[in-house]
Amino acid sequence: MAFSLFSLLIFSISLLHHPLSSNAALPKTALFRSELISEPTPSKDVPPTTFFEVTKPIELPRTKPCSYLVLQHDFGYTYGKPPVLANYTPPANCPSQGFAKIVLEWKATCKGRQFDRIFAVWLGGVELFRSCTAEPRATGIVWTVKKDITRYHSLLMTNQTLAVYLGNLIDGTYTGVYHVNITIHFYPADQERYSSYDMPDSDNLVKGYHSGADLILPISRNFPLNDGLWFEIENSTDVELKEFKIPQNAYRAVLEVYVSFHENDEFWYGNLPNEYITANNLTGTPGNGPFREVVVSLDGVVIGAVWPFTVIYTGGVNPLLWRPISAIGSFNLPSYDIEITPLLGSILDGNTHEFGFSVTNALNVWYIDANLHIWLDDKSVKTKGKLMTHNSLPPLVSLVSNFTGLNGKFFTTVSRSISSSGWVQSSHGKITTKSSQAFNYTNLMVMGKSGNLQIVNQKIDFNDSVVAKMPSNSVLSYKSFKRFPFYLYSDNLDLGGGSYNSVANVTLGFNEKRVKASDSGVSVSSLWNLQNGQGSMIVKGNLVVSGLGSTQQSYQYDSSKFCYFRNVSSSNYTILYDKDGSACSKRTESHLGYGLGKWWPFPARSAFLASDPHHVNDFITMDPMKSPMIMVFNIGPQLPLAST
């Protein structure tokens, strides 16, 4: 069974973008995308299973939306073909054009057998939405994702081309066609509920800090394409560049970055150090260690970074874990904002400039693009500015290795900070802005049982702030404190006769606290979102014979205006418990306060191994591009379930 875990990193449970490829260098015990588990012909009376990602409902005005179906398409064999295009026109028949909220709704159905697929939606080259499809079952599935796209208000008020890329493969075995409807809902403002602070057309002194941008430029690839509009980063030296030019009356700018990782870097957080791979003469094993960062440059100077959340796609780890509860972020991948207002003085000259994107330690492949949100001074033809300070040093990286043969421990720590300050003079006066990012990363990896056991304990702290000093000497500040805990455990147990039990547990969290402050007061919101999954699969050859996947999730969002919680658990398609409500948490921790003593406990591993692995209501589709690397780390008491 040696090396089987290494192979888990190379493969991907879902063939996201590419046809099946050769894996001759991999050991026979690696989990390939399996042949199919036979199952009885489904009854025609069985309704499709509803899949979902747990998230808070979008706060909406009480007004009736104007809803428009902007695309209806069946994604069959679409891999390697151009994106699906549609003409988009803004709503013309809505009683009001003052929209307080705009929501994109993705609804899809699928039946049969299929892998998970990465996909995205662009409007005029601006990415609105990135996601992963659910993996279907024989009786069919349906899932709906709603995303607040109000920040793209100015773009949505113009004629554009809508583009969707979902690279799918259809053959005699993999039969699932994704039937997709995309609808955009425009909610007119409810004056009783929405103040001018919330409105896109706010007349505040500096609306740029309270509303959507006046102009959004795509920082993505141009047509024609036989793929998505994202750039592809294939290795650690690859830098993708895009030229742009901004209007000379801009007074604020924010770069929104979309990121997803695939193939050899889909499980980057478990990639092994190169010295370990070389010492053990391993072939076909993803390396470069477990640290990754997306680096953003402007005219060759590093201006920001993204240390991404560890999204697990719907076929990742053990597919049964994500049926029907999808992994955090898998149905709505997060985007990341980088404030570049302090740098405006460098690019207000009317000339062409250049953004660059790279990924530290990258292996093939990362998909990255961005949207440049720009606020314009409608009372001025030209603004001016100056970059006062800029500090960006390379990451401080430490790796401590201790291994003998295939067994050992590796401890990686990384830290970094990036900051800029500058001023912009417009009709609003002189505004001085300082933006900063601070990152900390730790990853403890344990290899044991001659390479069959792997444990990963990882934590990412990703904090950023923007402070703007107004002409009146008042100060606006926006701060975000994020923590992404991630714990994985994987162990392969030999059952004899060419079979083994792949035991897999996973915990991942997305926690964030946001603080907005001005002379008028302070607004605080917090999100605690944690999933815990336990899975096992009996594998013979490349065939998943049976399996079990159970998932529990606790979600709590608190703010001064709105609270929401949901506690839900499932096992092999069946919801065991589900409760939600609007009660606020009683937590009073300052800043993050994410002590590891606050997470809920894992069930004892002995109890998990004793669980019955033979409950499979459906087939599992395994991909030789993504075998499951699945682990758990016992961290003691964890986040309690939200009170009701």
Lowest mean pLDDT among 59-63, 202-206, 489-493, 516-520: 202-206
Token pair listed for 409: 């421990």
Strand partners, 338: 255
- Res 42 pLDDT > 80: no
Average pLDDT estimate for 620-641: 32
pLDDT digits (tens, 9 = 90+) for 286-338: 999 999 999 999 999 999 999 999 999 999 888 889 999 999 999 999 999 99
Give the confidence band of 644 by pLDDT, cuts at 50, 70, 90.
very low
Residue 176 carries which DSSP code? Answer: -
In a domain, 634, yes or no: no
In a domain, 333, yes or no: yes
Helices (H), 247-298: 274-279
In a domain, 124, yes or no: yes
In a domain, 625, yes or no: no
In a domain, 629, yes or no: no
Question: 316: which residues sit within 8 A by CB, 6+ positions away?
Answer: 12, 13, 14, 116, 266, 267, 322, 327, 626, 628
pLDDT at 69: 98
Question: 193: which residues sit within 8 A by CB, 6+ positions away?
Answer: 61, 62
Looking at the structure of the chain, the number of domains it has is 1
Q: Which of 490, 459, 644 is nearest to 554 (CA)?
A: 644
* Peptide bond connecting 61 to the previous residue in cis, omega within 30 degrees of 0: no
In a domain, 516, yes or no: yes
In a domain, 139, yes or no: yes
- Res 533 pLDDT > 60: yes
Average pLDDT estimate for 158-164: 98
Q: What's the domain range around 27?
A: 4-609
Residue 398: how many other CB atoms lie within 10 Å: 10
Token pair listed for 215: 């102009």
Lowest mean pLDDT among 5-14, 152-161, 180-189: 5-14
| Calpha distance 433→422 (Å, rounded) | 6
Give the confidence band of 33 by pLDDT, cuts at 50, 70, 90.
very low
Lowest mean pLDDT among 211-215, 479-483, 594-598: 594-598
Amino acid at 92: A
Amino acid at 347: I
In a domain, 603, yes or no: yes
